[in-house]
Amino acid sequence: MCAIGHRIVHGGADFSRPVLVDDRVLARLEVLSPLAPLHQPHNLAAVRLARSGRPGLPQVACFDTAFHHGHASVVTRFALPRTWHEQGVRRYGFHGLSYEFIADELRGLDPALAAGRVIVAHLGNGASLCAIHDGRSVDTTMGFTALDGLMMGTRCGALDPGVILYLQQQGLTPDAVQTLLYEQSGLLGSRACRATCGCCWPVSNPRRRRRWSCSCIASFGKSAPWPLPWAAWTASSSPQASARTRRPFARASPSAWAGPASRLTARPIAPDRAWSAPPKAA
């Protein structure tokens, strides 16, 4: 063994490419742990364990945020005073290692498509969308933390900030709010199914079908501001979920890509089944 590579979820503003881990890097990454409480502590525990067991072995940190570092300021800025942006309160985006892999694979599978505009969906217990143009990330649904964006297995996704203020006014501590939003919400909190995409298929159960439909509609809504035409890719931990959720994103494309990222295959979509608008409210 000549080196160890580690997936680190949050690299903050400091790390835009893989780096060799030393004491300074490790200390900086520890500071970011509260921004990714489900992932960062475990990522760094593996780094510390490897360093203690093989102190002379190089440890390389690869960041889920790095692929999104080229975003324009209009994408990264929140509508907050500039001082907060300067202190690192900005949109970072996540699942970058997955998206970067898919962008590289797409270049080999379909160079013409790879040079254009593509929406990629990363669907698992954590879920997000990424708009990619010519192999580069231009926008994504996750932001300051991996809590934002789509509804996920146990995470709430996008939420009116006023809800958090209300929860605190009702007596919930910051730790209790964090537990609620990260571990007790999303698909699990809806009580429609367990906390993974795969459990929602088959969709013979009406509650599961309704909840998954809401998730798909919300997902398309998150991509609606992005320019069209965008082709559609789906990378999923569930082949069944991947094959089905490709459809809402394929309105502007004669074909979509579905399946786990390691086995991406093109699947044509019949025009009459490519897109159907959500039902109107009564």
Kindly list the catalytic residues. 64
Q: Which alpha helices (H) appear in the chain, and where do they start and end? A: 23-31, 40-53, 73-76, 82-86, 96-109, 111-114, 161-169, 174-183, 186-190, 206-223, 239-245
Token pair, residue 219, equals 């997902």
Per the annotation, binding residues are 7, 122-126
Q: CB under 8 Å to 70, separation ≥6 — which residues? A: 136, 137
| Residue 1 CB neighbours (<10 A) | 7
The residue length of the chain stands at 282
Q: Nearest Cα to 235, choosing from 67, 108, 122, 140?
A: 122
Per the annotation, binding residues for ATP are 122-126
Let me know if 21 is exposed, middle or buried by CB neighbors in 10 A (0-12, 13-18, 19+): buried
